[in-house]
Structure 1
Amino acid sequence: MTDPFALSMLLIVLLSITGLSVGLAMMCGSFLYLILKGYDPSIASEQLLQGLYNGYTLLAIPLFILAADIMNIGSLADRLLRFCQALVGRFRGGLGHVNVVSSVIFSGMSGSAVADAVGMGKIIIGLMTRDGKYTPSYAAAITAAAATIGPIIPPSIPMVLYALVADQSVGFLFAAGLAPGLLMALVMGLMNYVIARKRNFPTDEAVPLSELPRATLQAVAALMLPVILLGGIYSGIVTPTEAAAVAAAYALIISILLYRSVSFRAFWSTLCAGARSAGSIGILIAGSITFNYVITREDVPAKLAGWLTSLDLSQTGFLIVINILILLLGCVLEGGAILLIVVPILVPAVQAMGIDLVHFGVIAVVNAMLGLITPPYGLLLFITASITNQPMRAIVRDIWPFILALLAALGIITFVPDFVLFLPRLIGYQG
């Protein structure tokens, strides 16, 4: 007789290939497993309700999405971009540097790679391709690569998802992502400089240093958002979920009262778009909760942990294997699916190898974000291709140098745990 678990996995793969969302595919596979095993199918509903009832942290996800969408319809993104242009536009490959720096700043507000690419990405791609300064494919490539910083520097929606499945502190995970995110920005900036010199890309028109205070003043309200957000979390005034609500409220207040750049029609459209995005993520989470019950019943995490332990790998060898595994899965799976389906299976093996779970969380999220810019799935590649109307092969050709730079950063993140855990330990982490 065919194994029910194997049949459920086969159904999930087939439904996903045909275009059904991964979340719904996991639900269908879970129901098939329960029926074939003779269990009451209502167990799936029970597991789902219990998972959501205990998932207060999950409320942060739609709130961070809303905050990012409000910043996109207001003039916050434009002001931040002008500030970045004044700061680094004068260097060789200036608008490429502006692209990376703006992603660093915007990531401190949105927590989403897609929000970064769609929001700031549209604006900066337009600036880069104007007057033929940069090829559209290069503008698309560096925009997609820079957007991967968004979920690494806090706040981060993928970090919230990892905290859910690994039972770790969101605050410590946020702190752990700051240094790796800045490292990713640094290696991309260096790669942009090298490519700009090789391909003779221009510098942007230099903004006089005397104008920098003015540009900073115009953007200061937007620049204060990450300070308020992270200051509130690490001071203990608010939880990460409450901080997400504060971020959304702050973005709305300064957009309406200070910048006067949001109409009621635009705000309503933002609420609808945010609801659709949150619903899409919610279906994925719901599917993962029900499927995790199946995985638990089959004792898959313990079996995998036993198998990996039997290979007698060192920590270094184990981390190399895990990195390769997640990177390969990122080529065909969406990042959220990796964090909600694959990572929970790996966590027991990670613990058995004595690897810190906060450190591993950063490794897993960085790997998942790299999957967003690797073909054939590469969600960020599709987004920037639609913005620039460029063929995928041209964007892939230009993004490979940035993928290699990010892999170098991933090596440091993976094999120098103190680099990742330094900031969390400063705020009380005992790992």
Structure 2
Amino acid sequence: MTLTDPFALSIVAITALAFLGLPIGLSMICGSVLYLWMAGLDMGTAAEQFLNGMYSNYIILAVPLFIFAAEIMNSGSMTERLLRFCNVLVGHFRGGLAQINVVQSLIFAGMSGSAIADAAGSGRMMQAMMTADNRYPPSYAAALTAVTSVVGPILPPSIPMVIYALVSDASIGYLFLGGVLPGLLMVATQMIQVAWDARRHRFPVEERVPMRDIPRITWRAFPTLLMPAILLGCIYSGVTTPTEAAALAAAYAVLVSVVIYRSLSWAEGYAALLTSARTSISIGMMIGGALVFNYVVTIENIPETLRTSLTGMDFSPLGFLLMVNIILLVLGCVLEGTAILLIIVPVFIPTAQALGIDLVHFGVVVVLNIMLGLVTPPYGLLLFIMTAISGAPLRDIVRDCLPFLAWMVICLALITLFPGIVLWLPRLAGYGG
């Protein structure tokens, strides 16, 4: 490949446009059109790939529906009631508010599938609660909110896993199940770190909720707590597909917020709809651009060439997984996660299959890698969100994130070395991988 090669020039064009500020989805479309023009191919193929890919993939519908469900929960009082319930569970421990932050992310993960929705919604409330009366340093509260939000896309449902299923043809249901034990492992390590920090820094102990108030708080939160059970029960019982379950989640969030809690006004509902539409359009353009660029990659036969090269290097499955982990961890520091899923990961999938690596295991490893990228500088999106919410300096938030990041790397190493952590639940559900 030379610098005058059409594919090389398309890569240069995509990189240059992205650095100049053009959204990565549009950059990929422009670079792909340039390739088709230089290769003497029909440039209309770009539009054909875009439209066919977007309209023929039923699975893509799950993304805006999960985003809308999360926005409705944050606009109504569902998140607030969830936090009160978590206070009953762990609020009376030392560092109780920090433990509440971890537990609410565990429960919220079963509803939204989005780390950003978690950080921007319940994370905003947790930041205010933790920093009130100087209970916790703003940077620690922001760092904890960022790292706990990462759990959302590991536990089902998960928008990144939906996108991975789109590019790999792996089963969404089994991917969701595969993320359960790794997600719980991450939650456990976060709670351990919080308990250590609480004793070391003597974080305050919150007032215990009176026994007489516990039934009332639990009853008020019950419709919210029922959502993950309904959502996952419908998926794994076969009543709905994951996409239909996403629609059910959105409808249920509206029903609970409007009819049961009566906490969602027309203005708030409209604002939630606009926010979810903007987010969905951004992700949709990225998916569309990746579909066009993947067509170019296919024409160039890049996946097969890479598979042949890696096979010739005599990689073992574990060696290949370690190499992918290193590459994705580095790329996660400078690239957005969805772009990695749509551009980089499809190139590795044929090699993973050739080496006999299970695609569900590979998918969970990949998604956990990408979630690490959300809290690693310089591009960590959750770090930027929490800097804006908290007002704390970015360097202080990064410093307080480091112990949690170390635990996350340990979790990544464990699920890489021991595929059974990922595959145990899917196999119990009948998965043959």
| Bin for the TM-score computed over the shorter chain | over 0.9
Aligned equivalents of 2:216 and 2:427: distance in 1? 37
Q: Of residues 163, 166, 169 in structure 1, which corresponds to 2:165? A: 163
Over residues 191-217 of structure 1, what are the superposed CA-to-partner deviations in whole Å (9 max), with x where a residue is unaligned? 111122112212222223453333221
Aligned equivalents of 1:177 and 1:43: distance in 2? 37
Aligned equivalents of 2:113 and 2:397: distance in 1? 24
Aligned equivalents of 1:397 and 1:111: distance in 2? 27
Q: Of residues 297, 304, 307 in structure 2, which corresponds to 1:305? A: 307
Does the 8 A contact of 2:76 with 2:257 survive in 1? yes
Matched, 1:84 2:83: no
**Aligned match of 1:141:** 143
**Aligned match of 1:363:** 365
Q: Of residues 4, 19, 22 in structure 2, which corresponds to 1:20? A: 22
Q: Which amino acid aligns with 1:87?
A: L
Farther-moved stretch of structure 1 (206-215 vs 328-337): 206-215
Aligned equivalents of 2:150 and 2:312: distance in 1? 35
The CA deviation at 1:91 is 1.5
Matched, 1:336 2:338: yes
Over residues 164-222 of structure 1, what are the superposed CA-to-partner deviations in whole Å (9 max), with x where a residue is unaligned? 00011111111111111111111111111112211221222222345333322111100
Matches within 5 A, 1:10-409: 10-409=12-411
Aligned equivalents of 1:390 and 1:31: distance in 2? 43
What SS class does the counterpart of residue 369 from structure 1 fall into? helix
The CA deviation at 1:53 is 2.8
What is the TM-score when the length of structure 2 is the normalising length? 0.98
Does the 8 A contact of 2:317 with 2:352 survive in 1? no
The CA deviation at 1:227 is 0.5
| CA spacing shift, 1:294–1:195, aligned 2, 3 Å | same
Unaligned runs of 5+ in 2: none
**Aligned match of 1:4:** 6
Q: Which runs of 4+ in 1 moved over 6 A?
A: none
What SS class does the counterpart of residue 260 from structure 1 fall into? coil
Aligned equivalents of 1:309 and 1:387: distance in 2? 47
Aligned equivalents of 1:382 and 1:83: distance in 2? 29
The CA deviation at 1:348 is 0.5
Does the 8 A contact of 1:44 with 1:290 survive in 2? yes
Does the 8 A contact of 1:87 with 1:212 survive in 2? no
In percent, how many aligned pairs have the same letter?
55
What is the TM-score when the length of structure 1 is the normalising length? 0.98
Q: Which amino acid aligns with 2:102?
A: V
Does the 8 A contact of 2:333 with 2:373 survive in 1? yes
The CA deviation at 1:396 is 0.6
**Aligned match of 1:417:** 419
Does the 8 A contact of 1:385 with 1:392 survive in 2? yes
Over residues 123-171 of structure 1, what are the superposed CA-to-partner deviations in whole Å (9 max), with x where a residue is unaligned? 0010000011100000000000000001111111101000000011111
Farther-moved stretch of structure 1 (305-314 vs 60-69): 305-314
Q: Which amino acid aligns with 1:135?
A: P
| CA spacing shift, 1:212–1:410, aligned 2, 3 Å | farther
